[in-house]
Amino acid sequence: MKIVVNTRLLLPGKLDGIGWYTYETLIRITRARPGDDFYFLFDRPWDEQFIFSPNVHPFIIRPPARHPLLWHIWFQQGVKKFLRGHPADLFFSPDGFIPLDCHTKTLPVIHDVNFVHYPKDLPPVTGAYYRRYFPRFARQASHILTVSEFSKKDISTSFGIAPEKISVAWNGVSEAFSPLSDHEKKVSRQRFAGGSPYFVYVGSLLPRKNIPRLLRAYDLFREQDTAGIKLVLAGRELFGNGELWKVLKKMKHTGDVLFPGSLDRQDTRLLTGGAEALLLVSYFEGFGIPLVEAMACHTPVITASATALPEVAGDAALYADPFSVEKIAEAMQRITTDNVLREKLKAAGAVRVKKFSWDFTADRVWEAMEKTGRS
């Protein structure tokens, strides 16, 4: 088959959630199928590390697409023109965008539709674009992939899409994540928290990640904590964080909240594996990859009893209502004082993480590619 792929999020040193999804699935699919051709479409000069095998043919489509107007030009003009000049069996889009009114079969990956439920969580122009075009992308797509049963139901309900048009392939966990030795844990504490124990959050700083409530809960928890546990928030600041900084300034324990920025995988493993617990109490997630990364590191997990998070964490997490500061603080207290609970969650996580594999994800993605492209 000839498959054209939107690879505009394969950016060296800047891979985020969807970027890693693109990387992990495509490196496996392209190398496993040397008889098929893959046309990778970048919006700027590509890095050779992303040309995974000889059957990958890179092209640049201008202009760089980092704004709703430029997204529209890139997909609805540039990609569409490319597909007219390079007839293909399928257009695969890991970030969900597709050219409309196009004769090529399309397979977008729609990870979640949080913008439907929380429209104010995105910049106004971005949110308006998503709400206008993603229903059209979903309806016109030949088939749709998503990352959880929760997202499948949500996409189906929100956009009026038949469930049989949507396939689910859970995200995987990188082999880079594994338990730390005692020495590594000591190094991690020293590097990230000045030698103190710490909680960790990993992910972009976004409104739906619920960071302001997490900060308030941490301040409440510290009123009873005698171990001086710090809070490390690792990730890029994106948009909509005005409330986060307001809350931080008013906190009693502001000085114990640390921001190391965005980290590579090895440092994320070190940070996650050395933590007392991972805190991911988002009020909306289509999946939640940090959960399985923590499980792979044998780090206990506190997460929200909302959206896709229980589907992913199963019995390997302590749950809290994401809208209750008191419940989040109570979970922090429990996980630091109940050693039996901590060991139970570690053991459950070590078992559950075996359900998540990028090899399995790539196989499911290829099944959908082949079925859609050959139908």
pTM over 0.85: yes
Q: Give 39-90 pLDDT, tens digit per residue.
A: 999 999 999 999 999 999 999 999 999 889 999 999 999 999 999 999 999 9
Residue count (the chain): 375
Token pair of 263 as six digits: 């980290």
Is 14 a residue whose pLDDT tops 90?
Answer: no
The one-letter code for the residue type at 328 is: I
Q: Do residues 211 and 122 share a domain? A: no
> Do 56 and 82 form a contact (C-beta atoms < 8 A)?
no
Is 226 a residue whose pLDDT tops 90?
Answer: no
The reply to whether 260 falls in a domain is yes
Q: Give 234-254 pLDDT, tens digit per residue.
A: 998 877 788 999 999 999 999
Q: Give 162-221 pLDDT, tens digit per residue.
A: 999 999 999 999 999 999 999 999 999 999 999 999 999 999 999 999 999 999 999 999
Q: Do residues 226 and 204 share a domain? A: yes
> Do 279 and 304 form a contact (C-beta atoms < 8 A)?
no
Is 375 a residue whose pLDDT tops 90?
Answer: no
Q: How many domains does the chain have?
A: 2
Torsion angle, CA of 146/147/151/153, rounded to 10 degrees?
70
Token pair of 89 as six digits: 């069996």
The reply to whether 324 falls in a domain is yes
Q: Do residues 131 and 229 share a domain? A: no
CATH of the domain at 235: 3.40.50.2000
- For residue 43, how many C-alpha atoms fall within 13 Å in the half-sphere facing its CB? 20
Q: Name the packing angle between helices 124-140 and 149-159 (round to 10°).
A: 90
Confidence of residue 337 (pLDDT cuts 50, 70, 90): very high
Closest by CA to 172, choosing from 284, 265, 291, 306, is: 291
- The residue range of the domain holding 138 is 2-172+358-374
Q: How far apart are CA 155 and CA 147, in angstroms?
A: 11
Q: Do residues 269 and 124 share a domain? A: no
The reply to whether 303 falls in a domain is yes
Q: Do residues 160 and 240 share a domain? A: no
The reply to whether 83 falls in a domain is yes
Calculate the average pLDDT of the chain. Answer: 96
Q: Do residues 156 and 190 share a domain? A: no
Q: Give 317-327 pLDDT, tens digit per residue.
A: 999 999 999 99
Report the alpha-carbon angle 331-333-337, nearest 5: 120
Q: Would the CA dihedral through 118, 21, 126, 148 be positive or negative? A: negative
Q: Give 246-281 pLDDT, tens digit per residue.
A: 999 999 999 999 999 999 999 999 999 999 999 999
Q: Do residues 250 and 314 share a domain? A: yes
Q: Do residues 158 and 259 share a domain? A: no
Above pLDDT 90, what percent of the chain?
95
Torsion angle, CA of 206/209/212/218, rounded to 10 degrees?
-140
Q: Do residues 262 and 349 share a domain? A: yes
The reply to whether 177 falls in a domain is no
Q: Do residues 86 and 142 share a domain? A: yes
Question: What residues contact 222, with CB distance under 8 A and at least 6 apart?
Answer: 229, 252, 253, 256
Taking the chain, what is the end-to-end CA distance rounded to the nearest angstrom? 12
Q: Do residues 196 and 339 share a domain? A: yes
- So what's the pLDDT on residue 13? 87
The reply to whether 161 falls in a domain is yes
- So what's the pLDDT on residue 239? 79
Q: Do residues 38 and 165 share a domain? A: yes
